[in-house]
């Protein structure tokens, strides 16, 4: 903040100019003496001040506001005013540009992953995986899709280039999976173990375990600088704030709603707010992540669950699982603008947006199906039968430079 310098005191030598020549010469001589004193060095300046009977006016150096440094090793945002600037339609990384476009659907009760061709809306393959697959998660480097076999205590890798599954990796209670913005660690949301487990992002070797006192660590998203992330605890209705570099919970709060059940977490494009869907509060909590003060509730619909940002960063799609609808929130207007209702009902849960931004894909958790929805009109384009209990499906590939995990959070 710049400080306005104090004004100089009025000098007693600035007497009115006399009309007589003597007065003019006297005044001129006095002013010349002051000027000579003022022009001296440090000691001369001090004496000049004493002669004037006043203290020197010191103008403080401007205080520059420091820009918060990002997490070490984290690629800088393309646009500091929009965390999703790298996610524009068709802006595929060279790493993924040759991958075939597919929708990967984990079926929690069938222990399979259904693979859908988004062009034809047809199931092209069913992959056997571990017990209770919850989410299909793109790795930080976007080269691998990890299937979170929660009750199977393993991660099944899928090569998105070939669509083939690899050898499972032993990881305990992997309900959900995220990656630090610098690509150094994977973060396992060990829901039943009540832990955040930081692992090597490539080998999945355990690095640090952070026990938590809440129940059901679930979903998360990161601050723009990557320094912290917000975590939802669905079974105890709480939120955590975690220091990314220290790998430590630094704050915790209970949501102000009896029986709250927070789910998906998403940051606003400008990075100033976090949105947390709540199945029991039937809406979305709006949180100041930096201050971590009590959030406010925005009512959307019964069973609010998944949050997805449009490719132009203008809107957010909110799936209301309990009533078969999708609410549309406009970031620029800061309000809900539309609500789409699925024909014949349904249970829209988790998913993602197509690479071109034209289709929103959501799993139908209780109906054994997947919905494809036109993002311009809200019209249902397809309803595709899959396995039992479809959950965190991944649309892949998607635009972006790297993945923060879940079903596809890209920066």
Average pLDDT, integer, range 37-60: 38
Instruction: Mark whether 311 and 351 lie in a shared domain.
Output: yes
In a domain, 213, yes or no: yes
- In the sheet that 206-211 helps form, which strands lie side by side, from edge to edge? 176-179, 185-190, 195-200, 206-211
The pLDDT value recorded for residue 87 is 98
- Asked if 241 and 251 touch (Cβ cutoff 8 Å), the reply is yes
Is residue 145 within 8 Å of residue 137, measured between CB atoms? yes
β-sheet bridge partners, residue 164: 159
Strand ranges for 193-247 from DSSP E: 195-200, 206-211, 217-222, 228-233, 238-243
Shared domain check, 123 and 56:
no
Tell me which residue of 248, 256, 312, 253 sits closest to 280, measured CA to CA: 256
- The whole domain housing 205 covers 85-396
Query: Is the alpha carbon torsion for 254, 256, 259, 265 positive or negative?
Result: negative
Task: Answer yes or no: are the C-beta atoms of 102 and 118 closer than 8 Å.
Answer: yes
Average pLDDT over residues 104-127: 98
* Shared-domain flag, residues 40 and 153: no
Task: Note the helical H segments in 140-282.
Answer: none
- Mean pLDDT of the region 55-80: 68
Q: What value does the mean pLDDT of the chain take?
A: 88
Among candidate residues 11, 37, 65, the one where a domain is terminated = 65
Residue 404 located in a structural domain = no
> Do 134 and 25 share a structural domain?
no
Q: Is 212 part of a structural domain of the chain?
A: yes
> How many independent structural domains does the chain possess?
2
The predicted pLDDT at position 342 comes to: 98
Q: Are 154 and 170 in contact (CB under 8 A)?
A: yes
Domain membership flag for residue 379: yes
Phi, psi (degrees; rounded to nearest 5) at 242:
-120, 130
The verdict on residue 57 lying in a domain is yes
pLDDT digits over 256-314, tens only? 999 999 999 999 999 999 999 999 999 999 999 999 999 999 999 999 999 999 999 99
Smallest CA-to-CA distance from 105 within 384, 399, 373 is with 384
Find where tokens 């069913």 sit.
Answer: 126
What percentage of the chain exceeds 90 in pLDDT? 83
Averaged pLDDT, 148-174: 98
Residue 131, number of CB atoms within 10 A of its CB:
12
- Cα 56 to Cα 47: distance, rounded to the nearest angstrom: 10
For residue 39, with 0-12 CB atoms within 10 Å meaning exposed, 13-18 middle and 19 or more buried, which class applies? exposed
Judge whether residue 97 has pLDDT over 80: yes
Cβ neighbours of residue 124 closer than 8 Å, sequence gap 6 or more:
102, 115, 116, 117
> Domain check: are 91 and 7 in the same one?
no
Residue 350 pLDDT greater than 50, yes or no: yes
Does 9 score more than 60 pLDDT? Answer: no
pLDDT at 68: 57
359 and 237 part of one domain: yes
pLDDT in tens, 375-396: 999 999 999 999 999 999 999 9
Q: Is residue 80 part of a domain?
A: no
Same domain, 9 and 139: no
At residue 60, does pLDDT exceed 60?
no
**Pair 36, 122 in one domain:** no
The tens digit of pLDDT for each residue in 315-342 reads: 999 999 999 999 999 999 999 999 999 9
- By CB atoms closer than 10 A (0-12, 13-18, 19+), residue 410 is buried
User: Rounded to two decimals, what is the model's pTM?
Assistant: 0.84
* Helix, strand, coil share of the chain (percent; to 5): 10, 40, 50
For 346, residues 6+ apart whose C-beta sits below 8 A from its C-beta are: 324, 364, 367, 369, 371, 383
Determine, yes or no, domain membership for 325: yes
Residue 407 falls inside a structural domain = no
Q: Are residues 269 and 388 in the same domain?
A: yes
Q: Would you place residue 69 in the very low, low, confident or very high pLDDT band (cuts 50, 70, 90)?
A: confident
Q: Is 186 helix (H, G, I), strand (E, B) or coil?
A: strand
Examine the domain organization and report whether 117 and 251 are in the same domain.
yes
Residue 341: what pLDDT? 98
Render pLDDT for 213-227 as a digit per residue (tens, 0 to 9). 999 999 999 999 999
CATH code for the domain of 149: 2.130.10.10
Contact 347, 325 (CB under 8 A): no
Whether 179 and 326 map to the same domain: the answer is yes
What is the model's pLDDT at position 228?
98
What percent of the chain has pLDDT above 70? 83
- Mean pLDDT, residues 112-131: 98
Whole-Å CA distances, 355 to 100, 261, 398: 12, 30, 5
> Where does a domain end: 31, 65, 99?
65
CA dihedral 368, 372, 373, 374 (to 10 degrees): -170
Q: Are residues 221 and 130 in the same domain?
A: yes
């Amino acid at each position: 903040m710049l400080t306005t310098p104090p004004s100089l005191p009025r000098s007693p030598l600035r007497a009115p100019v006399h009309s007589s020549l003597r007065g003019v010469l006297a005044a001129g001589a006095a002013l010349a003496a002051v000027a000579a004193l003022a022009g001296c060095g440090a000691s001369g300046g001090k004496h000049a001040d004493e002669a004037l009977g006043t203290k020197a006016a010191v103008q403080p150096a401007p205080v520059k506001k420091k820009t918060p440094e990002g997490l070490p090793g984290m690629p800088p945002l393309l646009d500091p005013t929009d965390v999703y600037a790298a996610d524009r339609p068709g802006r595929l990384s060279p790493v993924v540009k040759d991958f075939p476009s597919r929708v990967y659907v984990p079926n929690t009760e069938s222990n399979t992953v259904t693979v859908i061709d988004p062009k034809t809306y047809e199931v092209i393959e069913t992959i056997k995986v571990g017990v209770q697959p919850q989410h299909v998660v793109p790795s930080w480097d976007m080269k691998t899709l990890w299937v979170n076999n929660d009750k199977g205590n393993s991660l099944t890798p899928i090569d998105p280039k070939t669509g083939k599954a690899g050898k499972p990796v032993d990881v305990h209670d992997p309900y959900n999976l995220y990656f630090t913005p610098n690509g150094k660690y994977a973060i396992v949301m060990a829901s039943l173990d009540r832990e955040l487990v930081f692992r090597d992002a490539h080998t999945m070797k355990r690095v640090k375990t952070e026990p938590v006192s809440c129940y059901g660590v679930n979903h998360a998203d990161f601050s723009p600088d990557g320094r912290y992330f917000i975590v939802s605890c669905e079974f105890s209705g709480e939120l955590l704030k975690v220091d990314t570099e220290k790998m430590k919970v630094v704050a915790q709060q209970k949501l102000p709603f009896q029986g709250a059940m927070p789910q998906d977490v998403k940051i606003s494009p400008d990075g100033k707010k976090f949105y947390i869907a709540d199945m029991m509060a039937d809406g979305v909590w709006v949180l100041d992540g930096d201050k971590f003060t009590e959030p406010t509730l925005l009512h959307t619909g019964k069973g609010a669950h998944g949050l997805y940002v449009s490719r132009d960063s203008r809107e957010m799609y909110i799936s209301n699982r309990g009533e078969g609808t999708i609410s549309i929130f406009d970031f620029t207007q800061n309000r809900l603008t539309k609500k789409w209702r699925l024909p014949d009902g349904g249970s829209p849960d988790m998913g993602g947006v197509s690479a071109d931004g034209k289709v929103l894909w959501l799993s139908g958790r209780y109906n054994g199906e997947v919905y494809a929805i036109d993002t311009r009109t809200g019209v249902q384009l397809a309803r595709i039968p899959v396995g039992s209990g479809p959950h965190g499906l991944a649309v892949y590939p998607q635009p972006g430079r790297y993945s923060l995990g879940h079903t596809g959070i890209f920066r």
